[in-house]
Structure formats: C-alpha cells, structure tokens
Amino acid sequence: MFMKSVLRITVSAAVLALGGGMASAGNVEVLHWWTSGGEAAALNVLKDDLASKGVEWQDMPVAGGGGEAAMTALRARVTAGNAPTAVQMLGFDIRDWAAEGALANLDDVATSEGWDAVVPDALKAFSKYDGHWVAAPVNVHSTNWVWINKKALDAAGGKAPTNWDELIAVLDAMKANGITPLAHGGQAWQDATIFDAVVLSMGNDFYKASMIDLDENALGGDTMVEVFNRMAKLRSYVDDNFSGRDWNLASAMVINGEAGMQMMGDWAKGEFLRADQVPGKDFVCIRFPGTQGSVTFNSDQFAMFKVNDPEAQKAQKLMASAVMSPVFQSAFNVVKGSVPARTDVPNDAFDDCGKKGMADLAEANANGSLFGSMAHGHAVPASIKNAMYDVVTAHFNGEYDAKEAAAELVAAVADAK
Amino acid sequence: MIDRFQNWLPRMVLAPSFFLVLIFVYGFILYTGYLSMTDSKMLPSYNWVGFANYEKLFRLRHWNTAITNLAIFGILYIGISSAIGLLLAILLDQKIRAEGFIRPIYLYPMALSFIVTGTAWKWFLDPGIGLENTMHQWGWASFHFNWIKDRNYAIYTVVIAAVWQSSGFVMAMFLAGLRGVDNEIIKAAQIDGATGFRIYRKIIIPMMRPVFLSAFVVLAHLAIKAYDLVVALTGGGPGRATELPATFMYSYTFTRNQMGVGASSAIIMLIMIFSIIVPYVYSELRAGGKR
C-alpha cells in the first residue's frame, strides 16, 4: 500500500516533469485572507513554487475580520456545491468541515513525506480527522507572548518579569513613570487573548481542565475567580480610551514608547520589525509571566476540499506537499512572525524572538504543555469560544465582578454546548 | 385578439418578478422559520427540535441586551427624529428666504450610507482624537464626553448618529405634508382669530396623521434592521454593550455556528416588523375602503 502510493506519486511527478511547461497540471483555487503586504509576499513563495510544477494558482482572497468574511464566503460556495480546492482555515473550523465530510483525504502524500513524525501532536488534532490527514499546517502562532518596550522596561527596573508579582511591580513602576503600562485594544478577542495567558499562568492542568475539557469545577471554581481578579487588576493598567482599538494600534503605542507592554500573539512582532525595531535592543519578547515552558497556539492550515476532477486532485496534492516543504515553511514564517508547523525546520533564518518561539514550541511539545488557544479557536468550538468571549469581555468592561463572572462562565458554556 | 393580448401582457410582464419575489423573499422566510426549529449549527440541518432554539434564545443574556438596546434605540431614535424633523419642517414652512438652499443641506445626510455616518461619528466621538481632544486643545480642560467608551452610555451615541442621519429625511416628509394642507382651512382659522401656534397644534398637525404614520413605519423598520451603523460606530462594544438584534442574528448565524439560534432570532425580528406593519396596512386598507 505504502509502496503503491509512493509509486503513484513518483509516476505522477514524472509525468508532470515530462509535461513540464507544456500542459498545466490542473489548477488550485485557494481561498485565503492573507492580503496584507508581508503575508501576500509570503504566499508568493508558494505560488511560484507551484507554478514551477505546472500548477496554476487561482487566487480567491476574502479579506477582513480574521477570516470571518472568508468563512462566510466558503459556506456559500460549499452550499452551492462549488467548493474551492484549498482553504486557509483555523482550528475547529477544520474539524467542523471534516465532520461534514467535505474535506479530501491527504493520507498518501502525508505518509510518503512522513508528516506524522514532524508535526506536533497538538496540531495533528486539527490536521487529522478520524485518523486521516485533511489539512496541511502552515505555521504555529503562539499567543502567550508579552512585548515590552526596552527603554520603558529599563526605566522600570530593567528586569523582565517572570511571575505575577514581578509583573505587577513592573506595571506599577511604568505607571509611576507616567506612561500607559499596558497597551490593549478593547475587542472581545483581544480581551480573551490576555485571559488565555492568565488562565495558563495558573498551571497547565488548570488550563486543560477549564479551557479544553470544560470541567465545571474549574470553570466556576476559586482559581477562576482569581483569574478574573487578575484580569481586573490588568484592566487597571490600561488607558481609558482602549475600547475598540485595533491590536496593531496598541502595538504602535508600545513601539512609540507611549505604552510599556502589550500582551499579544507573535503576529505583533511583525509590527515591531516593520518599525525597524530590533529584538533584544528596542523591544523584549517574553512569555506571559508564569507561562514559560508552556505554549498556547493557533495554527493556519490549508484544508483541502473534495474535488472530483482527477487533474485538480493531483494539483491539490502537489500543493499540500509544497506547503509542507521545509523551504516554504521557513520562508513563509520568517515573514509572518510565526514559527514553522514542522519541528525539523532549521532556525537560521529567524530572529531572536523567532528562535525562542521555535525552542519554546519544541519544549512544550516534548513536555505535553502545548495547548490550543481558546481565544483563537483551538481549544473549543466557535459557539463555546464566543460564549466565553461574552463573559470575558463583559467582565473586562466592568459588567460583572470576579465571582459573578466565574458563575456566568459556567452558565454560558453550558448553554453553548 | 389584440384585446386579449393587452389583457394578458401586464400579467406576463409581472410574472417573473412575482415568482422571484415569491421564492427569494417569502420562500426563504419560510425556510428560515423551518431552520429555527432545527438543530442547525454550521450548515443547515433538518433535525427537528421544536421550540428549543427559542427557549435558548430568551435565556441568553446577550439577546436580552440586544432587545433592551433595540427598545432604547428605537424609542429615542423614532421620537427624536420625528420631533426634530417636525420642528425643522415647521421652521422651513415660514416662507423663509433661500429655502431651496437650506432644505437639501438638512436632507443630505440621508444620502450617506450608515457605514460612513458610523465611521465619521466614531472618530468625532472618540475621546482620544475627536470632540473631547479638540476641546482640551482649545483650553477647556475639564470638558468630558466619553459616552462611546462607556458601556452604559454607548447605545446613546448610536442614537445620536442615527438621528443626525435621518432627521433631514423626516423633515422632508413632514414638509411635503405641511404643503399638502389646504390653504382655505388655514385662512378660515385665521379669520376666526387663531394664532399661528394654535393653528399648528389644533389644525395642521392633526391633519398630518398619515405623514406621521408613514414616518413611523419608515423609521421603525430602519431601527429594527439597524446593523451597519452599529458595526461601523462601536462594533457592538464596549464589550457587548451595543449589540442589536440584527448584529446578534448575523453573529450567531454566520460566525458562531449556531444557525438554529440565529434563525430563531431572525424570526423574532420578523414578528416585530409584522407587528408594526400589519396594523399600518390594516388602517390604510380601512381608510381606503371608506373613500
């Protein structure tokens, strides 16, 4: 079986090579929301690679809303019986589509290229459905980062905080220095990003019990009340004008020195780099205090939809293989700020924060402390995620006190199940 | 032969649009009603669950917020727009100079989309860059206006923006109504010694009842379907403080993968619209019958 599929791929590759340039090997229609400058440039690496193999790339970008618009477009396409070949997708969306039976089987490419050995298990939970590969992971974003302005940190004692008390000490010192200690944008997903990190800082077991297993005792218990207390404490370091601010504007506040730090996923690094800031010199990247060694992630993947045309199927598999090639994984992720989804990609091309991200990911993967991020749809399905958003953002905006919020969290999750 | 053709022609021309409307409006209303009774999540499913979605809907705090907001928004929006519109119309009706120049100025906001209105007012009301900041720069340091960032007051900023947009339109409707009042009646009242204020209060405004009804129906359905304004102005925030039923419906149906609950909220919105439109149509039909 294994030999047979290897043979099939070799043969089809050979046929393609022979045909080279003359006939196209079908085309792939790709639905994605990577439209910003850097992202588009990174995608071009993939496009060129596929073009050299004779696969034509039909672009179908749907920008906006972190993929919400793209997912709505996808639903319309699939309902109309005309699914794109490949779709950029996050977490539970992949599972949901796989459960609908809409995704193609990539097992032959995966086995011949040995994806199983190089992709972390926590990612495979999404790339594989029912034991079959249905998606090719492109990157791993980790979300429990803190980005600190180096000057502001030096003025506040100079030592990067490693636990909650040190964090509060630094934030207080920054406040005393007359800057906004914490740059933050008041959007539900941003509130939830901080919430994720605070929950994780209470321990790996607690994160798993509350955010992944949805254990009611963890969701409504004393530890969760403490989490909400800490959220309220962090809220007190945010300026009053935070509501509705986009995350990149919050990053800009840290870059300008208007604010001390931002708690945000590694895509924020792109903003710092574009402002010609150097990791370690102008800004410092640390894991959220108390979470070093653990990683919450989200991962962009290309989910492959079932297509009937054999030409298109071939093109689809070529694309899956190109996405998983170490060269593309490195080239793309250097630009995107994330780290490769394969653990065997060399880290030479990455900056210090990227290297740290790769090392942390490998460590977390080895220790079983790599978890899907709740805020980014990799811990629970969309309905429950949004129910949690409702509570977290209402509490962050002062609607509940910590005890009410914990009780409300239990109720909201139960209703959304 | 030709007679027959002329008889049939209008029906044949109307038939396609009639069937399109039948399917794509009324057909899909029925379909939505059916989906609201199923356990549809990401894609439509056909497992019957009865009224479970409606029970769930009314248990959700989020939906209660949306309904409360709609009540606040609807009452204030319709009330204030009508009051300002009527006042402007009466002032414009005083045979003033350059009316043709002033009238379009009030009417033009209606030509903007709610997205533009929302974005412009978002910037204008933002304490960091808008009105508050400008006042501080002009030296009025104690000036304070941060409603858009305050979850208890944010819904009122939506009212402000919507009223700004719609008052001119209501004014135009009222102005047309005022011009339609028979001059003879007004002259008769003047001869009887009625003052201007009394003429408006006792004669003209009561005679404009149909205009009030039309204005109410237009504004009420604008209020219930309000979506773009909220999305542009506050994004439903701070927190979830300015969610309206329309934003609720969209998020549950399309981003939260709870299509059943979303469909049931759409049906509730439909019922709300019907409860406004049906009495209106009924009273119109009755008035028509009397004529």
pLDDT the model gives residue A11: 43
Q: How many domains does chain A have?
A: 2
Instruction: Give which of A387, A68, A388 is closest to B254, Cα–Cα.
Output: A68
Chain A residue closest in CA terms to B232: A244
Would the CB atoms of B237 and A78 count as touching at under 8 Å?
no
Q: How many CB pairs under 8 A join A and B?
A: 79
pLDDT the model gives residue A186: 87
Question: Which of A100, A381, A396 is the closest to B43 by Cβ?
Answer: A100
pLDDT tens digit sequence for B189-205: 888 888 878 888 888 88
Q: Are residues A189 and A290 in the same domain?
A: yes
Domain range enclosing A95: 2-141+298-354
- Considering Cα of A207, then A211, then A214, then A216, what sign does the dihedral take? positive
Which one is predicted more confidently, B10 or B265? Answer: B265
Task: Answer yes or no: are the C-beta atoms of A328 and A117 closer than 8 Å.
Answer: no
- R_g of chain A, CA atoms, integer Å: 22
Instruction: Name which of A74, A78, A241, A246 to mutate to probe chain B: the one with the most chain B Cβ atoms within 10 A of its Cβ.
Output: A241
How many angstroms separate the CA atoms of A155 and B39, rounded? 56
The alpha carbon of residue A408 is apart from the nearest alpha carbon of chain B, in Å, by 10
Q: Are residues A291 and A395 in the same domain?
A: yes
pLDDT tens digit sequence for B141-163: 888 888 888 888 999 999 999 99
Q: Are residues A211 and A331 in the same domain?
A: no
pLDDT tens digit sequence for A358-390: 999 999 999 999 999 999 989 998 889 989 999
Measured torsion, CA atoms of residues B200, B206, B212, B213, in degrees rounded to the nearest 10: 180
Q: Are residues A257 and A320 in the same domain?
A: no
The alpha carbon of residue B221 is apart from the nearest alpha carbon of chain A, in Å, by 26
Residue A153 lies in a domain: yes
Q: Are residues A73 and A206 in the same domain?
A: no
State what percent of residues in chain B have pLDDT above 70.
98
Q: Are residues A281 and A302 in the same domain?
A: no
- The enclosing H or E element of B223 equals helix B209-224
Residue A365 lies in a domain: no
Residue A361 lies in a domain: no
Which one is predicted more confidently, B262 or B98? Answer: B262
State what percent of residues in chain B have pLDDT above 90.
37
A153 CB burial (10 A radius; 0-12, 13-18, 19+): buried
Q: Per-block average pLDDT, block size 10, for chain A (417 residues)?
A: 46 41 66 81 85 88 78 87 90 89 91 91 91 92 94 91 94 94 91 95 94 93 95 93 87 93 90 88 93 92 90 89 90 86 88 91 91 92 90 91 92 86
* Residue where a domain terminates, one of A309, A324, A354: A354
* Domains recognised in chain B with CATH numbers: 52-290 (1.10.3720.10)
pLDDT tens digit sequence for B31-67: 999 999 998 888 888 889 989 999 989 988 889 999 9
Chain B residue closest in CA terms to A408: B61
3-state helix/strand/coil string of A267-335: CHHHHHHHCCCCECCCEEEEECCCCCCCEEEECEEEEEECCCCHHHHHHHHHHHHHHCCHHHHHHHHHH
**What's the angle, vertex CA A393, arms to CA A389 and CA A399, rounded to 5?**
130
Cis peptide before B279 (omega within 30 of 0): no
How many angstroms separate the CA atoms of A296 and A267, rounded? 14
Residue A360 lies in a domain: no
pLDDT the model gives residue B31: 94
Tokens of B99: 């009316």
Q: Are residues A290 and A305 in the same domain?
A: no
Q: Are residues A319 and A405 in the same domain?
A: no
CATH code of the domain covering residue A166: 3.40.190.10
Chain A residues close to B127, C-beta within 8 Å:
240-241
- Report CA-CA distances (Å) from A137 to A122, A123, A332, A374, A376: 11, 8, 12, 18, 15
Question: Which of B60, B122, B234 is the closest to A415 by Cβ?
Answer: B60
Question: Which of B235, B240, B257 is the closest to A96 by Cβ?
Answer: B257
How many angstroms separate the CA atoms of B67 and B73, rounded? 10
Would the CB atoms of B234 and A188 count as touching at under 8 Å?
no
pLDDT the model gives residue B96: 82
Q: Are residues A112 and A234 in the same domain?
A: no
Would the CB atoms of B239 and A79 count as touching at under 8 Å?
no
Is ipTM strictly over 0.85? Answer: no
Q: Are residues A264 and A386 in the same domain?
A: yes
pLDDT the model gives residue B235: 84
Would the CB atoms of B238 and A186 count as touching at under 8 Å?
yes
The alpha-helical segments, DSSP class H, found in B36-152 are: 52-59, 61-92, 99-107, 114-125, 131-137
pLDDT the model gives residue B289: 53
Tokens of A255: 């870059």
**What's the angle, vertex CA B75, arms to CA B70 and CA B81, rounded to 5?**
120
Edge-to-edge order in the sheet of strand A283-287: A180-183, A259-263, A145-149, A283-287
- The enclosing H or E element of A133 equals strand A132-133
Residue A168 lies in a domain: yes
- The enclosing H or E element of B144 equals none
Q: Are residues A387 and A247 in the same domain?
A: yes
Would the CB atoms of B234 and A244 count as touching at under 8 Å?
yes
Chain A: residues touching B (Cβ < 8 Å): 68, 71-72, 75, 78-79, 96-97, 100, 186-188, 240-244, 381-383, 386, 390, 393-394, 396-399, 408, 412, 415-416
Instruction: Give which of A128, A68, A94, A141 is closest to A298, Cα–Cα.
Output: A141
Q: Are residues A175 and A112 in the same domain?
A: no
Residue A364 lies in a domain: no
Single-letter amino acid, residue A31: L
Reported as a pLDDT band with limits 50, 70 and 90, residue B22 is: very high
